[in-house]
Chain A
């Protein structure tokens, strides 16, 4: 009798929330709503409601585990409060020792990708071989086909790990870079002055 009453009282979305929670604990990469709905064999809209419940339950400073929306999906991470303890036990090898050259290459691939190594080299003015190799090894960029035409160069794009490491919901969360208009005009004027003085 008691058991029956408890079943009636249980919120069906709450049960789904527990399933979603379990799926997210097992996953080692962010899961999309569609993936969660498929695995839970439930409706995507109900899954989103369940995610709301899980997010409420696993939020800072309430819990040591935090649900975040990252890299186009949902994933658990440790709370920032526990960061010191985590850093004493774990490393962050993906981003450790990222050189300025690697960061520039990463920025080019993130904003202009998929793009090839020669394209990166053309923008940076120096060869990008080692920077690209280092980023591939860290899993921050990956191959994304080749340029068209015979013998086309390999093209690269950022991976979901890149978005996760940088805490981005998606690539659309990158800041816009079109606020450099004034700088470009100033540059152009300065260069024109130099060119004219050389011509005269």
Chain B
């Protein structure tokens, strides 16, 4: 839900970023069309077969908070802002704002008058589908040079090396079986000595098998120091050791 892509007038990007910008006050809540956010969410919801109640709940909470933020921002305490200024500064600021607005109001009046005076101008309106212009024109070409260029294109490309495809990963199960067999005979073993002589890929798969055994609680793994040999102990042995230490 937080990845909800938005394309609003005042903002374009994921919902997550919108939240961040609003909370960090980089974006004015009053400028954000929250109805647009709700519509975008509903569109995403309509595309899905199932209603994700968690996402809906989270969205409701977030959009309510944003609505409250926006409602507060729509009633700014401008009087307080102006009160904080000296009388001269406040007058200057108000005069600046009013003068700016008055200028634009006069410009609008000029446009309205212009509209009346130009009322008797009729002209053709409509799309102007101009023919697309070629970006550049080709200079005259030598036919032989063109032929040579075409021959180059016709040359079969060099064969693609498939050597990397030969990288085969042995199945993890193979090492699982191997380690289990080993643990049925011995209670402890060193991982390094067991995988010695294997390729890097095989060693990696063997380590994955080791992690699987650890996840299943079949073994305990210990290492005295970084890069020291990894010691594998059968789980019940580890439990006995722990019990013995606790008893002691």
Binding site for B on A (CB under 8 A): 27-29, 35, 38, 75-78, 80, 82-84, 86-87, 90, 92, 94-95, 98, 100, 103-104, 106-108, 110-111, 116-118, 121, 123-125, 129, 132, 146, 149-154, 161, 164-167, 174-175, 177, 180, 183-184, 187-188, 191-192, 194-196, 198-199
Contacts and interface: CB of A to CB of B under 8 A. Distances in A.
B100 interface: yes
Given A82-B122, A117-B31, A183-B99, A166 B11 contact: no
Interface in B75-112: 87-88, 90-92, 94-95, 98-112
Contact of B91 (A35, A87, A149, A188): A188
B108 A103 contact: yes
A27 B128 contact: yes
A183 B118 contact: no
A192 B87 contact: yes
A198 B120 CA distance: 52
Contact of B108 (A106, A153, A184, A192): A106
Contacts, number: 149
A151 B79 CA distance: 30
A104 B105 contact: yes
Given A38-B133, A106-B108, A151-B12, 16 more contacts: A28-B124, A28-B126, A78-B121, A94-B125, A103-B111, A110-B111, A117-B10, A124-B101, A154-B10, A161-B125, A183-B102, A187-B102, A191-B91, A191-B95, A195-B91, A196-B87
B108 A165 contact: no
A121 B33 CA distance: 14
B124 A76 contact: yes
A187 B99 contact: yes
Contacts of B123: 75-78, 164
B109 to A, nearest CB: 8
Contacts of B108: 100, 103-104, 106-107
Given A118-B10, A151-B11, A110 B118 contact: no
B99 A184 contact: yes
Given A150-B13, A164-B123, A106 B111 contact: yes
A165 B118 contact: yes
Q: Interface range on chain B: under 10, 10 to 19, 20 to 34, or 35 or more?
A: 35 or more
Contacts of A118: 10, 28, 30-31
28 contacts: A28-B124, A28-B127, A29-B128, A38-B133, A78-B121, A80-B120, A83-B120, A83-B122, A84-B120, A90-B122, A98-B112, A103-B108, A110-B107, A110-B111, A111-B107, A118-B10, A121-B31, A132-B9, A146-B12, A149-B26, A150-B26, A151-B17, A151-B18, A152-B12, A161-B125, A167-B118, A194-B91, A195-B90
Contacts of B128: 27-29
B58 to A, nearest CB: 21
Contacts of A90: 122
B122 A180 contact: no
A123 B115 CA distance: 23
Contacts of B109: 103
Nearest to B126: A28
A117 B121 contact: no
B198 to A, nearest CB: 50
Contact of A116 (B10, B100, B107, B119): B10
Contacts of A38: 133
B122 A107 contact: no
Residue among B101, B124, B133 with the most chain A CB within 10 A?
Answer: B124
A127 B57 CA distance: 30
A51 to B, nearest CB: 17
A164 B99 CA distance: 29
Contacts of B27: 151
Contacts of A132: 9
Contacts of A164: 123
B104 A108 contact: yes
A183 B126 CA distance: 42
A180 B107 CA distance: 11
